[in-house]
Amino acid sequence: MDDFKFFGRRKGRKIRKAKTSLLEQFLPQLEISTQQPISHNLFGVPVKKICLEIGFGGGEHLAGFSLLHPETGFIGAEVFQNGIANLLSLITGIKQNSEIVEKIKLLPDRVDNIRIYSDDVRKLFSQIPDGFVDQVFLLFPDPWPKNRHASRRFVNPDNIAELARIIKKDGTLLIATDHPVYKRWTLRQMHDCPDFIWTARTSNDWRNPPADWVETKYQLKALKEGRRPVFLEYKRI
Ligand SMILES: C[S@@+](CC[C@H](N)C(=O)[O-])C[C@H]1O[C@@H](n2cnc3c(N)ncnc32)[C@H](O)[C@@H]1O
């Protein structure tokens, strides 16, 4: 299915040699291919829960959170090649200027609990069974703040319906944003969906990230530039 129009960047700055070898040699070991059945057996270790991170960017949250939860299987989706290379660098310890090694491995403190979809997550949805996912993270999605670009926003009725289908009952969807337009938009879109309830009880619940949080690049950028992010958690009912 190739009929989704993607408006972001797929490639950025020139990727250095070490990162190229991560993409060429190591990514295929972790990559989810089109039509591959998605099940708990996807991972190199037994997993009890499944977490999906959409648009993981440089992979800071995915790398850090998956280290804290070795019994959870993580599916990360990202189209931006440099971001994927950065995630691979974080989980292998191979940096831009590292010597090229013949056999690339995960860092010794990690288990094999991450799989990567290196394309538009909307194409992956149809491969994911109903109620398969325990937790979804959508962190700092591109805000597309202009009205005329509203149809590009990831939070929209079609994607919310797919998320409602793949998230199991009592599973969660965490949407973080630092953009006031996207915050209002998300609150309204999610309010209109009867399959989710907003879990916040007090303002502290949406002003602060959950307990075992790992900061992302966009979160740090927002804080540095004086924008305070919000963390909107929804439960599938
Ligand atoms: C603003 S960045 C945020 C990155 C990261 N989550 C962070 O907080 O640092 C949004 C990311 O989502 C990715 N993205 C946007 N739409 C996507 C889609 N449909 N499937 C997969 N990735 C997507 C973009 O390539 C981009 O890297």
CATH number at residue 35: 3.40.50.150
List the catalytic residue out of 112, 142, 195, 205. 142
Percent of all residues in the chain with a pLDDT value above 70, rounded to a whole number: 97
Locate the DSSP E strands across the chain.
49-54, 72-77, 114-117, 133-139, 167-177, 196-198, 230-236
pTM above 0.85, yes or no: yes
Tell me, what's the pLDDT at 12? Answer: 63
- Whether the CB of 182 sits within 6 Å of ligand 1: no
107 in any annotated domain: yes
11 in any annotated domain: no
Collapsing DSSP to helix, strand or coil, 25 comes out as helix
- Whether the CB of 196 sits within 6 Å of ligand 1: no
Residue range 87-112, pLDDT digits in tens: 999 999 998 777 767 789 999 999 99
CA dihedral 77, 83, 84, 90 (to 10 degrees): -120
pLDDT < 50: residue spans in the chain: 1
Tell me, what's the pLDDT at 35? Answer: 82
Cα of 139 to ligand 1 centre, how many Å?
Answer: 8
Q: State the Rg of the chain over Cα.
A: 17
Cα of 198 to ligand 1 centre, how many Å?
Answer: 23
5 in any annotated domain: no
Cα of 10 to ligand 1 centre, how many Å?
Answer: 10
Range of the domain at 157: 17-236
3 in any annotated domain: no
1 in any annotated domain: no
- Whether the CB of 122 sits within 6 Å of ligand 1: yes
Residue range 179-221, pLDDT digits in tens: 999 999 999 999 999 999 999 999 999 999 998 999 999 999 9
| Number of domains comprising the chain | 1
122 in any annotated domain: yes
